[in-house]
Amino acid sequence: MSTKRILKLAGLNIGIAILNIALFSPGLLNIRMGGSDALSTAIGGTAIIMSFVVFIYGNYKLISQKDRTIQIIDIKSPEDCSLALKQAYGKKTFDNDISIILEQVERLQKKKEKIRAILLQKFNIIDTGYERFNSTIFDVEYVFYTNIKSILNKINVFDEEDYESIRKDDAEKKFSAKFIASKLSIYNEYISFVKEAIEDNEEIILKLDALLLEISKFNSLEAGEVDNMNEIKELDELIRKSKYYK
C-alpha cells in the first residue's frame, strides 16, 4: 500500500474519531444518548450511525482501490514519467537520485511553458520562427525523457541486495578480492550511468534557461536567424549526439 493511501486512511479515521469526541465530550458539544432530551438523543444516534457508515465505506474504498502502475515502455507524458519514478523508490542507492529527477521533470515543464509563453507573445503560431523553436523544444524534451527511461531501466535491474552483500566485510571470507572488485565495478557502472544521465538532463535544463534568456531579448526572429542562434545550435548538437549514441 502506498504512503499516500496510508495517510488518507489515517486522516479519515482520525477525522471520524475527532468528530465523535467533539460531539460526545462533556467539555464540548456534550450530546447525550438515552437522556430526556429527544433532540440530543436523535442527533447522537444519527452521528453514531453516520460515523459507522463513513468508517466502513471510506476504509473499504481506500483499501480496495488499486494503485495505478505503469511500465517504462508505456511512458507517454510527464505525469507517466513521474509515476514511474515514484514506483522506482525503494532502493536506497538511488532514492536520492529519483528525488532529483522528479524535481528535474517539474523544472523542465516550467521552463517549456515559459519559453512557449514568450514565443506566443513574439510570434504568430504559424510563423516559421515559432515552428523552429517549437520543433527544437520537442526534440530536446524527447531526449530528456529518453534519458529518464534509460535511468529507470538501470535502476529496475540493479540488484541492491547483492550489491550490499558484496560490500560487507564478510564478503572477503567468501570471495577473492579480484572477484569482489570485478563485481563492484559492474555495480558502479550502473551508479555512474545514473549520475551522468542526471547531469545530462541538468545540462538540458541549463540550455533551455539560456534559450529563454536569449529569446526574451528579441521582438521578432526569422527562421534563418533562429538557426544561427548559439543556443539553438547547442541544442541541435545535443539532440544529434543523443540520436547518434542511441
Per-domain residue ranges of the chain: 3-64, 72-245
CA 179 to chain centre: 37
Residue whose C-alpha cell reads 447522537 in the numeric block: 44
The three cell numbers of residue 128 are 516559421
Condensed to tens digits (0 to 9), the pLDDT of residues 100-135 reads 999 999 999 999 999 888 888 877 656 777 788 888
Using DSSP's 3-state secondary structure scheme, residue 71 falls into coil
Output the pLDDT for position 161: 93
pTM: 0.70
Model pLDDT, residue 93: 94
Question: What local confidence, expressed as pLDDT, does residue 245 receive?
Answer: 46
The pLDDT of residue 212 is above 80: yes
Helix, strand, coil shares, percent, the chain, to 5 = 80, 0, 20
State the Cα–Cα distance between residues 22 and 181, nearest whole angstrom: 63
CA distance 121 to 129: 13
pLDDT of 173 over the 60 cut: yes
What's the grid cell of residue 92? Answer: 536506497
pLDDT average, residue stretch 140-146: 92
CA gap 15, 23 in Å, rounded: 12
Average pLDDT, the chain: 81
Indicate whether 210 pLDDT > 50.
Answer: yes
Q: pLDDT of 11-33, one tens digit each?
A: 777 877 776 676 656 655 555 55
- Per-residue pLDDT, averaged over 216-231, amounts to 72
pLDDT in tens, 63-102: 665 566 888 888 888 999 999 999 999 999 999 999 999 9
Q: Is residue 225 pLDDT above 50, yes or no?
A: yes
How far the first Cα of the chain sits from its last, in Å, is 36
